[in-house]
Structure 1
Amino acid sequence: MKGAGKKRKARIVSFRIDEDGFTLLETLARQTSCSRGEILRRCLAGVQLKSTIDAQALTEVSRVHANLNRIGGLLKLAIREGVSDPRSYHRLNLELIDSVMDVRKAVNRLAGQR
């Protein structure tokens, strides 16, 4: 049965909050991918809030790391085998620059910068 064991949410609560409190509530909601109401319910229940942004950023860093490994392998192969087409070098270089920029963005997100 759907929702078995859960209490029905029958009460609506409305209250005023200052701008700092609202900003904090919005930030927590964004970081945890929960609604403001869910944040308040979890706080009342004493449940620890877990950030989903960190997990998303780490997943992105892992993806970019894999791309860097792939590009590095291609560059090593190109140097070892000798590629006569300068466009291939140029394309690999552009891919490497794009990946480095992706890593910087992901690291900045992990550090809390935008």
Structure 2
Amino acid sequence: MVSRPVVLVFLLVILIVTSQFEWKQQLVNELESTARSQKHISSREELVKDKVILSQEKMIQKLNDFIQNLQQQLLQCRDNNKTDNSSGTSSTSYISEIQRQQIMDD
């Protein structure tokens, strides 16, 4: 028969090997869970970034509309001023001047 110490050493080796498999499985499960949560966080961050970009684009469009409205008001004021002062400058020159300013600002 096999001696008692040899059986104990054999059982100890089996215990160590099986416990390492369990530890590895736990580590793999934890890593998979972490990877899933990272993907979830990344997708949420992307959604937030997209929403911020969309809101900024809407704000830019509103500002562009506001600028266009102000330019039209400016032209009207200049036309009114022109008729009051009877200056010889046409409104088309004002329009071209504003368009040049827009191009320079862009």
Report the TM-score when normalising by structure 1.
0.35
Higher helix share: 2
